[in-house]
Amino acid sequence: MREAISILESTLTDANFRKLLAITDRRVHRFVADAIELCRPMKVFVCDDSKMDTEYIRRTAIARNEETPLANPYHTVHFDGFYDQARDKERTVYLVPEGESLGQHLPQMDRKKGLEITRNRLNGSMDNKKMVVRFFCLGPLDSPFSIPVVQITDSFYVAHSEDLLYRRGYDYFRRLPDEKEIFWMLHSSGKLMLGTSIDWENRGVAIDYKENTVYSYNTQYAGNTLGLKKLALRLAIRKADRENWLAEHMFLMAVKGPSGRKTYLTGAFPSGCGKTSTSMTRGNNIVGDDITYIREVDGKARAVNVERGIFGIIRSVTQKDDPLIWDLLHSRRPAIFTNVLITEDENPRWLDDDQPVPKGGTNYSGEWFPGKVNRDGEEIPYAHKNARYTIGLDGFPNLDGSLDDPRGVEIGGIIYGGRDMDTWVPVQESLDWAHGVVTMGASLESESTAATLGPSGVRKFQPFSNMDFISIPLGKYIQNHLDFGLRLSAVPKVFAVNYFLLGPDGYYLNRKDAKIAWLQWMEARINGDAEAIATPTGLIPTHADLETIFREKLDRDYTLESYEEQFKLRIPEQLEKTERIAGIYRDTVPDSPRAIFDILDAQKARLEEARTEFGDYVSPLSFSRS
């Protein structure tokens, strides 16, 4: 211990030394001292969350060219390197102790070897740079959901981003019990040119789950560097596994019902499937758009938003379709734009923003002009398709008052949604908890689009929309969900939605705002105010209920013809999906719970019985109300 204090005392200024020693946890002192010894920074800055310290971080991000001011004085832009524009899944590995395995779905390497490689990469990585030490809390402060996190980085952009996204935790750490579990994050952006990481070919993320520590290096893209986001989610899933709760890649929102009633729902959607837009639907309240912790409390499922901000995909945000987000991004709320185009008048532009294509500007490739190509001769768009915005939730007019409630909110329903052109109906309710876990959560798929690399229309297996972040064997993760429902006396309903069903002419069968109607039906079902029709795959709305909801909430008719086309049972596609999902679990998930196959087999039998009676494509009017 004296050695750690000696390192800190010899490296930190008096002011920073006092700020760090005000936190009495010796584990914190050792972690910071080890990072200093390893990375060898020129200076160390300890942020105490004061206005002066947090403003210093923002100003320094600008001074170091990691961010550039925009015409709006509260806004900045950050550019990641040309080849550092997304999460690097191939180079994100778990460091696994000898004798352990996480299953074939997760990239992993021997812990001892991985730590050696990682520490070699980080050795001296902060030479001639300043180290930033920050303290945050995942979930509300002083809550059963709280997880304290130490973030060390040499990127002031990273430190600034996390200031917008997470609850500041310096004072929380000062009163932290010594036995409280802590997550540890160490990041170095490596060699920089014009404020951007250039050694991207040697970037990597190593997750040492034995010590709750994440290391990342030679990268600045937020998904690889903001340790509290998906990197911490991986650690949280393991913690939840040990403690019998759920850490999920889900939004959290309040859907408003009659007479001021509010019902809270969570939802898991793969990227590009409507996750953020669902949490921001008109007339309802957002709690969070990305990560949710769910615990059993007195027999009920209660949940919190892990974050206090949004790191959102900005592509396709328009004034017409996303007025709340649009207004916030043009307000005086502090925000960071990444990998957008900056015009000559210092304003941001992004793809599909419903404005004329710009004539020029600056983007992640440098000076941009129409027709500019990359080294492979491919035309460079004026903004990256994965361009983002980072903004705090406190400016949202539709923010729910429960954001910082340490007790969380009671969950009435859980939604799973993917991009599916021909199988799932727009909305349905599971037959029970286990049926929902297996046929909706564990069976979630999403089709690729032109916005992603590779061919369009390819179904990708996306169980619980959490496949990239599950840090325990997949079969165990599913069993944890099944067991969680058994501990509840008030079990949330489970729903599946599909906003992307196509008609025979190749056009979507639903308008974008139809999700408002599906949410209202779910809210009504949870509270016993709507009927349902029992089908082999789940419970679907009646036409009468939807007709009323569309008229009251969307001010338009919902015809019986539309209802029959959208909610018909597509038996060949359903059977194909059932077989496909069963095959994935049978062939690639050796620890699959027996319940997966039992529930899928039972659904297959119901589908075949319905085909014998009604044919391949069955009108919802053929089935009886439940």
Element (H, E) at 152: strand 147-153
Query: What's the whole-model pTM score?
Result: 0.95
Q: Phi and psi at residue 457, in whole multiples of 5°? A: 80, 10
Closest CA to 286 of 126, 430, 401: 401
Residues in Cβ contact with 543 at an 8 Å cutoff, skipping those fewer than 6 apart: 558, 560, 563, 620, 621
Q: Which long-range contacts (CB under 8 A, 24 or more apart) does 172-181 make?
A: 172/135, 172/137, 172/141, 172/142, 172/146, 172/148, 173/23, 173/25, 173/28, 173/135, 173/148, 174/22, 174/23, 174/24, 176/23, 176/25, 176/148, 178/25, 178/26, 180/148, 181/147, 181/212, 181/239
The percentage of residues in the chain with a pLDDT greater than 90, rounded to a whole number, is 90
Half-sphere exposure of 14 (CA within 13 A, CB side): 0
Question: Can you give the pLDDT at residue 453?
Answer: 39
Question: Can you give the pLDDT at residue 55?
Answer: 97
Angle ∠(12,80,363) on CA atoms, nearest 5: 135
Q: What is the pLDDT of residues 278-328, one digit of tens each?
A: 999 999 999 999 999 999 999 999 999 999 999 999 999 999 888 889 999
Given a cut of 50, whether residue 332 has pLDDT beyond it is: yes
Tokens of 422: 């021909």
Question: Can you give the pLDDT at residue 459?
Answer: 87
428 CB-contact burial (10 Å; exposed 0-12 / middle 13-18 / buried 19+): buried
Q: Phi and psi at residue 49, in whole multiples of 5°? A: 70, 5
Helix axes 474-486, 232-243, angle to 10 degrees: 50
Given a cut of 70, whether residue 79 has pLDDT beyond it is: yes
Q: What is the pLDDT of residues 109-129, one digit of tens each?
A: 999 999 999 999 999 999 999
Residue linked to tokens 């840090």: 471
Question: Can you give the pLDDT at residue 457?
Answer: 63
Q: How many H-runs (helices) and E-runs (strands) does the chain carry? A: 18, 35
Q: What is the pLDDT of residues 540-561, one digit of tens each?
A: 999 999 999 999 999 999 999 9
Given a cut of 50, whether residue 450 has pLDDT beyond it is: no
Question: Can you give the pLDDT at residue 520?
Answer: 98
Angle ∠(143,288,169) on CA atoms, nearest 5: 40
Dihedral, CA of residue 283, residue 287, residue 291 and residue 295, to nearest 10: -120
Question: Can you give the pLDDT at residue 93?
Answer: 95
Dihedral, CA of residue 164, residue 193, residue 126 and residue 187, to nearest 10: 40
Tokens of 565: 């086309």
Task: Indicate the DSSP class of residue 508.
Answer: B
pLDDT mean over 379-407: 96
Q: What is the pLDDT of residues 603-617, one digit of tens each?
A: 999 999 999 999 999
Given a cut of 70, whether residue 455 has pLDDT beyond it is: no
The residue ranking higher by pLDDT, 187 or 106, is 187
Residues in Cβ contact with 463 at an 8 Å cutoff, skipping those fewer than 6 apart: 441, 442, 443, 444, 470, 474, 478
Given a cut of 80, whether residue 105 has pLDDT beyond it is: no
Closest CA to 443 of 473, 490, 478: 478
Distance of alpha carbon 393 from alpha carbon 291, whole angstroms = 14
E-strand ranges in 320-385 read 335-338, 341-342, 348-349, 361-363, 366-368
Q: How confident is the model at residue 59 (pLDDT cuts 50, 70, 90)?
A: very high
Residues in Cβ contact with 306 at an 8 Å cutoff, skipping those fewer than 6 apart: 138, 139, 228, 232, 233, 236, 288, 290, 291, 292, 293
Give one word for 230, left, alpha or beta, with left for phi > 0 and alpha for psi -120 to 50: alpha
Question: Can you give the pLDDT at residue 448?
Answer: 67
Closest CA to 250 of 301, 321, 202: 301
Specify which residues 184 forms β-bridges with: 150, 213
Q: What is the pLDDT of residues 189-248, one digit of tens each?
A: 999 888 889 899 999 999 999 999 999 999 999 999 999 999 999 999 999 999 999 999
Angle ∠(52,223,193) on CA atoms, nearest 5: 70
Question: Can you give the pLDDT at residue 452?
Answer: 39
Tokens of 256: 């408003």
Question: Can you give the pLDDT at residue 454?
Answer: 43
* Mean per-residue pLDDT of the chain: 95
Q: Could you list the active site residues? A: 273
pLDDT mean over 86-94: 91
Q: How confident is the model at residue 274 (pLDDT cuts 50, 70, 90)?
A: confident
Closest CA to 600 of 584, 581, 618: 581
E-strand ranges in 400-490 read 409-417, 427-429, 445-447, 459-461
Distance of alpha carbon 293 from alpha carbon 593, whole angstroms = 23
The percentage of residues in the chain with a pLDDT greater than 70, rounded to a whole number, is 98
Half-sphere exposure of 294 (CA within 13 A, CB side): 29
The domains of the chain, with CATH numbers, are: 2-62+86-243 (3.40.449.10), 247-278+403-622 (3.90.228.20), 311-395 (2.170.8.10)
Q: How confident is the model at residue 413 (pLDDT cuts 50, 70, 90)?
A: very high
Cβ atoms of residues 553 and 516 within 8 Å: yes
